[in-house]
A and B are shown apart, each in its own frame.
Chain A
């Protein structure tokens, strides 16, 4: 996911929010991961907006994508330059209305945004885990989020919502905890990565690992693999846009010059944009986290895990009401992938709504201000909330 964080045009905001930490699985009761490794203690960074109601039925869980964090909405301080990454959607009276719902956004394990990940301290060595951090899965992420929701006292989750890798967590929630999840909104996502998506991720990982500063993951006391991570991010940004959006946004326009420089500086605007995005990213993201999270996403295959390779068999375990949304120009998670999950849901008689939104901005469309998406989510949530109480 890219960053498109802007202040709300109407100035509506959930206000000042605080990042909180929840820790569980203290040794010797470590969390046993899907690959058999033990991890503990496990810390999850999270934020909450709104209030859990008396019958604990109004919780909405937001799940972020690759480079996101728990800061979905609001500001950390009065002078904060930017709100949370989905502030356009989450707040008073917005698509996900914090006046009505108790909204939780959980960071994922493996990340570097406050939850336990490769840059956290390994209690056994008192050094950063680096590559001693076990390879976590989407299932592990969701199991740790379940611990958080139990801790917060949410007996059921009215809706789990997220896009991209966040959407994979949404699907995982509906299959792993079907009794708890009343509804789900998987946006611009898939039940399993295509070869194309795995290929892009692998090139990005190779860019990091080819940087000498990566040093087999041990760079926490020296220079970081910034060049490799920046290239990885540049690759990501290409996949988040589309042919059309790049044509509209950049075309062949040159950056601050009227002719070619006849050297290898950034001549084209698109080059300059990618370099800027790459540089910006290394300041806030850990290269090892990038490796771990992309690997978790590549491994994810809910059809194999829950249905012996059949999406129909897998979704037989779900009971949530679904709103599936895809975007016309998304070539990372194209509409056919959403349609195939919708088909499997229908074959199981699940309550599913589906829309492919016409959008030129590629995979990133789910993060951009989109009145249609806002209204879809609002209408869907109002209905599932109403049906849940009657």
Chain B
């Protein structure tokens, strides 16, 4: 991928990949946009019309102070208000595993956008498999650092699961990249060989 711009390299690695998939000038909604890192990059470098939804007051405030269009709320509820096909892309990065009803959310995303971009930690990474196999405990890794009783990551998703799900709900995978990186890391690499075992994150571009 063409990183190019200096700002690019300051972003989380998965966000760098997501940014590279977005066409200049498009309408983008970032669900769970955090402090607006990706949105700001896309507005400055790709001239997108971007907005975001975020739950935490501090993060929403940081976004609005930067001049971003962001509203505070629950992504599962807020997506319901937009008219059909309001956006070219709706982004859901590192959040799907925390959603109570992923099928409903993906459905809502595909109603309001032509394309969805979804990234999530891959639960079938070899480190997870080994822990479960050899220790018998639920995996705790750098990407999924919580215990079963305090994890926000309530959905166990693998790259293969997601492909199967997209197929079952009648959507199409338009692009797919598996990467090896840590959750907040700026660096990483693309995994082409045995991604379901070797990748820590999967990133998908989906459409109808």
Cα A352 to Cα B53 with chains together (Å) = 11
Name the A residues within 8 Å of B48 (CB-CB).
Answer: none
**Cβ contact within 8 Å between B65 and A351:** no
The docked-state distance in angstroms from the alpha carbon of A358 to that of B83 is 30
State A152–B71 Cα separation when bound (angstroms).
34
Question: In the complex, which residues of chain A have a beta carbon less than 8 angstroms from the beta carbon of B72?
Answer: 354-356
What 1/0 mask marks residues of chain A from 334 to 372 whose CB sits below 8 Å from any chain B CB? 000001001100110101111111100000000000001
Instruction: Known A352-B71, A353-B70, A356-B57; judge A380-B64 contact (CB<8 A).
Output: yes
Please tell me if B51 contacts chain A, counting CB pairs below 8 Å. Answer: yes
Interchain pairs with CB closer than 8 A, number: 56
Chain B residue contacts of A124, Cβ below 8 A:
none
Is A211 engaged at the interface, CB distance under 8 Å to the other chain? Answer: no
Q: A342 contacts B64, CB within 8 Å?
A: no
Q: How far is the CA of A111 from the CA of B82 in the complex (A)?
A: 40
Contact of B82 among A339, A346, A353, A357 (CB under 8 A): A346
Asked if A349 contacts B86 (CB within 8 A), the reply is: yes
Q: Which residues of A contact B82 (CB under 8 A)?
A: 346-347, 349
In the complex, the answer to whether A353 meets B61 with C-beta atoms within 8 Å is no
Contact B65 A354 (CB under 8 A): no
A352 touches B86 (CB 8 A): no
Tell me the smallest distance from the CB of B21 to a CB of chain A, in Å: 24
Please report the C-alpha to C-alpha distance between residue A380 and residue B65 in the assembled complex, in whole angstroms: 7
Q: Does A243 contact B (CB under 8 A)?
A: no
B69 touches A352 (CB 8 A): yes
A372 to B60, CA, bound (A): 11
The answer to whether A382 and B67 touch across the interface, beta carbons within 8 angstroms, is: yes
Nearest chain A CB to B193 CB, angstrom units: 44
Which residue of chain A lies nearest to B51 when distances are taken between CB atoms in the complex?
A351
Minimum CB–CB distance from A280 to chain B (whole Å) comes to 34
Contacts of B73 in A (CB 8 A): 339, 354
Contact check: which of A347, A356, A358, A376 meets B65 at CB < 8 Å?
A376
Residue of A with least CB distance to B67: A383
A354 to B52, CA, bound (A): 11
Q: Output the nearest chain A residue to B60 by Cβ-Cβ distance.
A: A355
A309 to B71, CA, bound (A): 25
Contact status B71-A353, CB under 8 Å: yes
Tell me the nearest residue of chain A to B49, going by C-beta: A351
Interface residue? B66 (CB, 8 A): yes
Per-position 1/0 for B107-122, Cβ under 8 A of A: 0000000000000000
- Interface size of B in residues (CB-CB distance below 8 Å): 20
Residue numbers in A under 8 Å from B68 (CB-CB): 353, 383
Contacts of A343 in B (CB 8 A): 81
Task: A354 to B67: give the CA distance in the assembly, Å.
Answer: 12
Q: Which residues of B contact A355 (CB under 8 A)?
A: 57, 60-61, 64, 71-72
Q: How many angstroms from the CA of A360 to the CA of B127 in the assembled complex?
A: 47
Interface of B is mostly: mixed
Chain B neighbourhood of A342, CB < 8 A: 71
A380, B64: Cα distance in complex, Å? 6
Is A376 touching B71 in the complex (CB atoms < 8 A)?
no
| Distance of A287 Cα from B35 Cα, bound (Å) | 48
In this assembly, does A323 line the interface, its C-beta being within 8 Å of a C-beta of chain B? Answer: yes
* Distance (whole angstroms) from the CB of A313 to the closest CB of chain B: 14
A9 at the interface (CB under 8 A from B): no
0 or 1 for each of B52-63: is its CB under 8 Å from A? (1 = yes): 000001001101
Q: Which residues of A contact B71 (CB under 8 A)?
A: 342, 346, 352-355
Which residues of A lie under 8 Å from residue B63 when comparing CB positions?
353
A305 sits at the interface (CB 8 A): no
Q: Is A127 an interface residue (CB 8 A)?
A: no
Bound: A378/B57 CA distance, A? 17
Complex Cα distance A30/B51, Å?
45
Report yes or no: B67 in contact with A379, Cβ–Cβ below 8 A.
yes
Q: Which residue of B lies closest to A344 (CB)?
A: B81
In the assembled complex, the CB of A34 is this many whole angstroms from the nearest CB of chain B, namely 31
- On whether the beta carbons of B81 and A378 are closer than 8 Å, the reply is no
Which of chain B's residues 93-142 have a Cβ closer than 8 Å to chain A?
none
Q: How far is the CA of A386 from the CA of B68 in the complex (A)?
A: 12
The verdict on A346 contacting B60 (CB below 8 Å), with A351-B51, A354-B71, A383-B67 known, is no
Asked whether B57 lies within 8 Å of A379 as measured between CB atoms, the reply is: no
Tell me if A349 and B57 are in contact (CB < 8 A): no
Candidates B65, B78, B83; contact of A379 at CB < 8 Å: B65
The CA of A355 and the CA of B55, in the complex, are separated in Å by: 10
* Complex Cα gap A382–B67 (Å): 7
A388 to chain B: which residues have CB within 8 Å?
Answer: none
Which of A347, A356, A358 interacts with B81 by CB under 8 Å? A347
Known A355-B61, A356-B57; judge A349-B69 contact (CB<8 A). no
B83 touches which one: A347, A351, A357, A386 (CB < 8 A)?
A347
Q: Per-residue CB proximity of A215-227 to B under 8 Å, as 1/0? A: 0000000000000
What is the chain A residue whose CB lies nearest that of B82? A346
Contacts of B78 in A (CB 8 A): 346
Further 6 A-B residue pairs, CB within 8 A, beyond A353-B71, A356-B57: A346-B78, A347-B81, A349-B82, A355-B57, A356-B72, A379-B64
- A-B pairs with the 10 shortest C-beta distances? A383-B67, A379-B65, A354-B71, A346-B81, A375-B65, A376-B64, A355-B72, A353-B64, A355-B60, A343-B81
Question: 17 A-B Cβ contacts within 8 A?
Answer: A323-B64, A347-B81, A347-B83, A349-B83, A352-B69, A353-B63, A353-B64, A353-B68, A353-B69, A353-B70, A354-B72, A354-B73, A355-B57, A355-B71, A356-B57, A379-B64, A382-B67
